[in-house]
Amino acid sequence: MKKTLLAVAIPAIIFSNAASAVELLKDEGAMVDFYGQLRTQVEKYEDKDVTLNAGSSRAGVQAQYALSDTVDVFGKVEFGIAFKESKDEYNMKNRLHFAGVDTDFGKISFGRQWVISDEIYGADYSYFFGGSGMRYGTLSGARHDSLIKYTFEGENFLLAANYGLAEDDTNQELSELYVTTSVGGFNFHIGGGVNRDKSYKVGTDKVTDPAKETDVNADLENTYYEGTVEYTFGPALIGFTYYNAELEAKASGASIEEDAFSLGATYSWADNATAYAGYEYVEQSSGALNTDGDGENFYIGTDYHFNKWSRIYVEYGYKDGTTLGFSNKGSDSTISPSVSDGESQYAIGARVYW
């Protein structure tokens, strides 16, 4: 659940689990933590049976060492626990693996990481069903295996950029640039990026008509721009994000143009509980792929924190119209391309942190 777009959000990401992590080493100038999350969630989709799954449970080790008064080195490796397709047993998969250097001139890291657009995100405060208006992940899935990331934190702003290496077209080539700032009760950010995949699998995927199986050229490029504003007043927060994206098949020239609008809000109804809701509208048009359509998405829910290391949450979602697919940040889930006719969705989840 993304609650706010503070200008200092990204520098805090490396040790975002420090409040509940297990210290393996803490010495002068050195820190190594073992952290993780156990997730369990129950989901019900229209015309489908109830499912019980492990969500996106994960565990990892993060470390930071001081080389001098102004230079630190850091790193993280993280693994996820997921069901195999047969659901007979669990398997492990690598989620993150990177190292970097933190100096007075900024922080730079190298490796398998979340892209900047995913870390900064936008006005989606859901655990399960929001995120349809965040169009950056159409190709990338919000992560890159060979990413170079740079962030510089000023007094009231943050500059962030990354570049993903193509490596003979075995990876996507990706570039992004974002700027965030906070003034009074307002948080702002603006930015965008482009990612290109020359080996994308064609078929019934994110760039075809969800109702058909029309193949397109595999050399795909997604260009996206967005702006977000949030305002915090007392126990309440309201946010708005606008996204513009164009997904293009380079050889054929076929493209899908998207405009997306996300409006969301949260309200802390207790010191340890927050209610949230949001409405998302995505407009899509294409003269070549027969994918014109509008998609609407609504969610509402609340969470309850028993303490700093455990919480539960419940959420309702409603979607209607055509979608080319999207990823939800809170549950690390990817929604496949679909045509929805007023479908309701329900979910309950729980997390334990360490």
> Residues 144-162: what's their mean pLDDT?
94
Reported confidence tier of residue 2, pLDDT bands at 50, 70, 90: low
Strand partners of residue 68: none
Which neighbouring-strand residues pair with 345? 45, 317
d(CA 2, CA 307): 19
For the chain, what are the domain ranges? 102-353
| pLDDT over 90 at 67, yes or no | yes
* CA 4-147-207 angle, 5° bins: 80
Q: How far is CA 68 from CA 12, 30, 36, 100, in A?
A: 20, 11, 29, 15
> What's the rounded mean pLDDT across residues 228-233?
97
Query: Is residue 27 pLDDT above 90, yes or no?
Result: no
Cβ neighbours of residue 255 closer than 8 Å, sequence gap 6 or more = 246, 247, 248, 249, 286, 288
Over the stretch 182-225, which tens digit does the pLDDT of each residue have? Answer: 999 999 999 999 998 876 554 434 444 444 444 444 678 889 99
Alpha carbons 51 and 345: distance in angstroms, whole number:
12
- Give the pLDDT confidence score for residue 22 in this predicted structure: 81
The CATH superfamily of 102-353 is Porin (2.40.160.10)
What pLDDT, on a 0 to 100 scale, did the predictor assign at position 24? 80
State the distance between the two ends of the chain, measured CA to CA, in whole angstroms. Answer: 18
